[in-house]
Amino acid sequence: MSQLLKAKWFPSVVLVIFFLIWNGFFVKGFYSAASFRYFLNVLVPLACIAIGVTVTVICGGIDLSTGALVCVINCSFVVLMERGLGLGAAIAVSMLAALVVGVVNGFFVAVVRINPLLVTFAMQTICTGLALWIRPNASGSGNPEFIRWYGSGTVLGIPTSVLFFTIVPLVIWYLIKRTPMGYWLYAVGKDERKSFETGINTVAVQFFAYIFSACMTGWAAIAFSGNIVGGDPKAGLSFTMNAIAASVVGGAALSGGEGDPIGGVLGALFVQLAIYAVLGAKVSTYVEELSNGLIVLLGIVGMMAYSVLKNRKRSRL
């Protein structure tokens, strides 16, 4: 039991359970089949991004470009299909685009050595512009079959959205964690200089982290395209902050070297549940944006306060 309490993602489990219960009572029809499935469909892209962002945080950095990248990939995915590309080809090209963004982020962080916060912030601006250029106004209808498959398909009883866009990424992460790269990501995040002196290739490791994050974001954008109709150059922007809150609540330390993407998924679950709780309270739309911001703020502040207090107790012992 004490092992469980010590797990970094324990607070997020508590929060998730709390809101699962709360939403059951206060959000009308939350657990009805269709409603709950829709909730999951909305959650899945955020969870997928949180997996990627958590890895950059573990590696000692952060990725602020995720929201804008979702917009870019969503718009280009839709545009490619409108221009006649098949679903498979469109996915492949979109993932390739995401990969390129990851490489650029990695380059400026690891080689040019600019603060990751500033690099990904600049990249966010670039992607925002790119998305608007590809699709200036939200429009299009996307691929109806894909939307149907994503929205209501199941495989062996598991929703396709959850299976392919959260469970599969988690599995991929765990496969990576079981390679030496898994160790190296945590090492570089904990202490870049010590890792360097131990003979670890810190440049390659950092490249990997940002490429992984961008690919996860690209994959999440595909999921997102299955959830909204058409391409929207602005709809994904809130992912950036929500994914970071998800990572932090999930136990990833912003200083690096600690955390796990499963925590990020739990954190994403918390954020989405909290957003629904606010919606369920039927507050006016004018409060929505504010309350979403407060959810992120309180999530991050609460988690950081929790770890500061925990550390103080430990050092006093």
Partner 1 sequence: MKKTDGVAVRSNVRLNSIHVTVILIVVLFVIGQGVLNGFASIRNISNIIAFACVIALVAVSQLFVMVVGSDGNDLSVGAIMSMSALLFADICRNEVARIPFALACVLLLGVVVELINFSGIAFLKISPMIMTMVMGTVVNGFNYFYTRGIVSGSIPKPIMLLGRQIVGPFKTIVFVVAVILVLAYCFLRRLKTGKKMYLVGSNENAARLCGIRTEWVKLAAFLMSGVAAVLAGIMLLGLSGAAILKMGDGYVMMSIAAAVIGGVKNGEGRVFGCFLGAVIIQTLSNLLIAANLPDSLQILLNGIVLMLILSSFARKPRLQS
Partner 2 sequence: MNHLKCREISKAFGQVRALERVSLEACGGEILALLGGNGSGKSTIAKVIGGVYQKDSGEVMLNDSVLNINSPIAAKRAGVIVTSQELSLMDNFTVAQNICLSKVPVKKVWTDGRAVGEIAEEVLKKCGLSSYGGRSVASLEENEKYLVEFAKAIVMKPKVLILDEITSALYQNDVAVIRNILMDLKEQGCIIIIITHRMNEIFDMCDKVTVLRNGEYVDTFWTSEVTENELLFAMTGHDVRKAVKVGEEAGGEEERESLISVTDHQLSGFRGQIQFELKKGEVIGVAGLQGQGQSQLVRELFAMDKPTQMVFKGEPIILKNPSDAVKRKFAFISGNREKEGSFGNRSIQENISVISDLILSANAEAKETVLGKYKVKMGRITDAIRTLSGGNQQKVILGRWTITNPDVLLLDDPTKGIDVNARMDVHGIIAELADQGAGVVFVSSDEEELIGMAKYCHQYKIVVMYNGEVKKVLSGKEMTKENIFLYAIPQGGDSE
- Contact region with partner 1 (CB under 8 A), list: 33-41, 46-54, 90-98, 301-309: 301-309
CB of 105 to partner 2, least distance (A): 23
Spell out a b/e string for 23-54, using b for 16 or more CB atoms within 10 Å of the CB, else e. Answer: beeebeebeeeeeebebbbbbbbbbbbbbbbb
> Based on CB atoms, which residue is closest to partner 1, 151 or 302?
302
Q: Should residue 182 be labelled a site residue for partner 2 when binding is judged by CB under 8 A?
A: yes
Spatial CA neighbour of 216 closest among 253, 255, 163, 168? 168
Spatial CA neighbour of 97 closest among 236, 211, 244, 207? 211
Spatial CA neighbour of 146 closest among 55, 221, 47, 71? 221
User: What character string, x for contact with partner 2 (CB under 8 A) and - otherwise, covers 259-298?
Assistant: ----------------------------------------
Residues 121-140 that bind partner 1 (CB under 8 A): 121-134, 136
Q: Any idea what the Cα angle at residue 53 is, between residues 73 and 153, rounded to 5°?
A: 55
Contact 272, 39 (CB under 8 A): yes
Chosen residue from 41, 46, 71, 192 binding partner 1 by CB under 8 A:
192
Size of the site for partner 1 (CB under 8 A): 51
Residues 186-225 that bind partner 2 (CB under 8 A): 186-187, 190-191, 194, 196-201
CB of 151 to partner 1, least distance (A): 28
User: Choosing among partner 1, partner 2, none, which partner's interface includes residue 210 (Cβ < 5 to 8 Å by kind)?
Assistant: none
User: What character string, x for contact with partner 1 (CB under 8 A) and - otherwise, covers 213-252?
Assistant: --------------------x-------x--xx-------
CB of 301 to partner 2, least distance (A): 24
Spatial CA neighbour of 218 closest among 120, 92, 98? 98
Cβ burial, residue 189 (10 Å; 0-12/13-18/19+): buried
The tokens of 15 are what? 């929060």
Phi first, then psi: give them for residue 114, nearest 5 degrees.
-105, 150
Rg (CA), the chain: 19
The DSSP code for 108 is I
Q: Should residue 2 be labelled a site residue for partner 2 when binding is judged by CB under 8 A?
A: no
Q: Should residue 117 be labelled a site residue for partner 1 when binding is judged by CB under 8 A?
A: yes
Spatial CA neighbour of 245 closest among 269, 268, 218? 268
> Based on CB atoms, which residue is closest to partner 1, 226 or 256?
256
Phi first, then psi: give them for residue 284, nearest 5 degrees.
-65, 155
Residues forming contacts to partner 1 in the complex (CB under 8 A) are: 62, 64, 108, 112-115, 117-119, 121-134, 136, 192-193, 196, 202, 233, 241, 244-245, 254-255, 286-294, 296-297, 300-301, 304-305, 308
Residues forming contacts to partner 2 in the complex (CB under 8 A) are: 178-180, 182-183, 186-187, 190-191, 194, 196-201, 257-258
